């Protein structure tokens, strides 16, 4: 299972947030889901020329280019010892301030009616980032963040499904390092695996993390009036006695009104950073806490977007049918239900960006999961939103007639 793991992001480092604004500020039109099972459909030929860097073109590999941006020094090395075969490609960054550096292959044609699987192998001294660049019929480009590959000190495989947005004609993928350190890459693969998988229609989910009191006071009336059922991801340890959070009685009112109650652990622990025993107590314990209140929960949300392969196994073992991450993107019928992608509606996200996400979900027939936190007029809190913003988003969803689902309902549709 090759998933983005251990990404504790309590405040999103500036360079990561900058990359995500680049990628998602103009309405991301791609969905990526990291998968753990082998592809069951027939796999086509590798679309990447010279995928293992064995063919040489002067002092660089044939069909490959060097790339860098920002304020840093990048030293490119080729050939170096590979994962398989004789050759691989290396880049080392020093004097890093911002930006990234990478090797990348020339654009290859892609078809929005098809689905693709990408993989590569890497060895790095730090976490690295994988991004796709799509080119469209009208000449425009979009950059799509695909995931982070955590540092392990040894060769590691990254693998992902990619659904191509409508209008895209070609793509390349950047596996980049955006900090001081080295990255060696080898054995790239991009293959068509069959028809693009889409839902019968686009879907949107409204999810709220942590269980804040102002969500109960200010968000629920807006959602209830619109007939939208949200997913409320609740921290169960100590939350109900803190005046900033909902009470047990209010939690039961939420559930009685049809809002889904999901688990968000007992103490909001960054699960990839704690012991297996502690993670199990957080994951299974919160489910049991809700059960003692008469609430059956089937879905889970990773605090801080922090998870690992082991974490996902624990979530599955605890009886949850799926889990939402904080990794950005959309979901399709081929998505991993334990690694659902989402979009964060923080206070620096413009309403036009959110309506663009919704339009994309409708046009592409994908599932968009929106994440909210506090409902308050607080420009100093990145996780707060003016309730008027939520009202605008709800009004837009209703005007567009897009289907709204809770996490549990969406997972049920995905699993069919």
- Whether domain 203-415 has CATH 3.20.20.370: the reply is yes
Maximum Cα interatomic distance, the chain, rounded to a whole number of Å: 71
Q: What is the CA radius of gyration of the chain?
A: 22
Burial class (CB in 10 A: 0-12, 13-18, 19+), 50: middle
pLDDT of residue 152: 83
Distance, in Å, from the CA atom of 378 to the CA atom of 368, rounded to the nearest integer, reads 26
Give the three-class secondary structure for 30: coil
Q: Does the pLDDT value for residue 311 go beyond 90?
A: yes
What are the phi and psi torsion angles at 31 (to 5°)? -125, 140
> What is the location of CATH 2.60.120.260 in the chain?
38-195
Least confident segment among 20-24, 144-148, 264-268, 349-353: 20-24
pLDDT of residue 93: 98
pLDDT of residue 240: 82
Q: Does the pLDDT value for residue 38 go beyond 70?
A: no
Q: Does the pLDDT value for residue 283 go beyond 60?
A: yes
DSSP 241-275: GSTTB--HHHHHHHHHTT-EEEE--SS---GGGS-
Under the banding of pLDDT at 50, 70 and 90, the label for residue 412 is very high
pLDDT tens digits, one per residue of 201-226: 999 999 999 999 999 999 999 999 99
Q: Which helix (H) or strand (E) holds 100?
A: strand 100-105
Distance, in Å, from the CA atom of 162 to the CA atom of 115, rounded to the nearest integer, reads 6
Distance, in Å, from the CA atom of 211 to the CA atom of 331, rounded to the nearest integer, reads 24
Q: What is the mean pLDDT of residues 6-23?
A: 34
Rounded to whole angstroms, what are the CA distances from 17 to 99, 290, 334, 382?
12, 34, 27, 12
Four-residue CA torsion sign, 42, 47, 49, 54:
negative
Do the beta carbons of residue 400 and residue 362 sit within 8 Å?
Answer: yes
Q: Does the pLDDT value for residue 69 go beyond 60?
A: yes
Query: Domain 38-195 belongs to what architecture?
Result: Sandwich (2.60)
> What is the location of CATH 3.20.20.370 in the chain?
203-415
Q: Which helix (H) or strand (E) holds 106?
A: none
Least confident segment among 10-14, 89-93, 315-319, 410-414: 10-14
What is the separation of C-alpha 222 from the centre of its chain, rounded to a whole number of angstroms? 27
Most confident of 34-43, 65-74, 141-150: 65-74
Do the beta carbons of residue 28 and residue 328 sit within 8 Å?
Answer: yes
DSSP letter for 197, please. P
Distance, in Å, from the CA atom of 67 to the CA atom of 91, rounded to the nearest integer, reads 10
Q: Which helix (H) or strand (E) holds 25?
A: none
Do the beta carbons of residue 191 and residue 44 sit within 8 Å?
Answer: yes
Q: What is the mean pLDDT of residues 336-341?
A: 93
pLDDT of residue 377: 78
């Amino acid at each position: 299972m090759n998933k983005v793991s251990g990404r504790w992001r309590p405040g999103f480092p500036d360079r990561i947030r900058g990359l995500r604004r680049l990628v998602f500020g103009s309405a991301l039109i791609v969905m990526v889901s990291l998968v753990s099972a082998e592809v069951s459909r027939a796999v086509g030929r590798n679309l990447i020329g010279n995928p293992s860097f064995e063919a040489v073109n002067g002092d660089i590999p044939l069909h490959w280019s060097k790339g860098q941006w920002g304020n840093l020094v990048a030293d490119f090395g080729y050939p170096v010892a590979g994962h398989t075969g004789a050759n691989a490609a290396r880049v080392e960054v020093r004097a890093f301030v911002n930006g990234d550096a990478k090797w990348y292959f020339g654009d290859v044609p892609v078809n929005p009616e098809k689905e693709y699987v990408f993989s590569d192998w890497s060895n790095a001294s730090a976490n690295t980032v994988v991004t796709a660049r799509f080119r469209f019929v009208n000449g425009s480009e979009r950059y799509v963040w695909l995931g982070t590959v955590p540092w392990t000190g040894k060769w590691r495989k990254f693998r992902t499904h990619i659904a191509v947005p409508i209008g895209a004609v070609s793509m390349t993928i950047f596996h980049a390092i955006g900090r001081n350190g080295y990255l060696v890459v080898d054995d790239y693969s991009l293959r068509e695996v069959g028809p693009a998988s889409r839902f019968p229609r686009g879907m949107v989910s409204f999810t709220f993390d942590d269980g804040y009191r102002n969500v109960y006071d200010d968000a629920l009336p807006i959602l209830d009036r619109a007939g939208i059922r949200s997913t409320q991801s609740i921290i169960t340890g100590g939350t109900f006695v803190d005046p900033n959070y909902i009470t047990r009685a209010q939690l039961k009112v939420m559930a009685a009104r049809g809002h889904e109650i999901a688990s968000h652990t007992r103490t909001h622990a960054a699960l990839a950073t704690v012991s297996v025993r502690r993670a199990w107590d957080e994951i299974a314990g919160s489910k049991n806490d809700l059960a003692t209140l008469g609430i059956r929960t089937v879905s889970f949300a990773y605090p801080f977007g922090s998870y690992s392969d082991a974490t996902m196994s624990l979530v599955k073992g605890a009886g949850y049918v799926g889990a939402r991450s904080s990794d950005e993107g959309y979901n399709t019928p081929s998505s991993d239900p334990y690694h659902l992608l989402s979009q964060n509606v923080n206070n620096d996200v413009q309403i036009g960006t959110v309506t663009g996400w919704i339009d994309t979900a409708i046009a592409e027939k994908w599932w968009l999961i929106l994440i909210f936190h506090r409902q308050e007029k607080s420009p100093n809190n990145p996780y707060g939103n003016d309730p008027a913003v939520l009202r605008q988003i709800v009004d837009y969803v209703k005007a567009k007639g897009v289907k709204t689902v809770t996490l549990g309902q969406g997972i049920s549709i995905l699993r069919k």
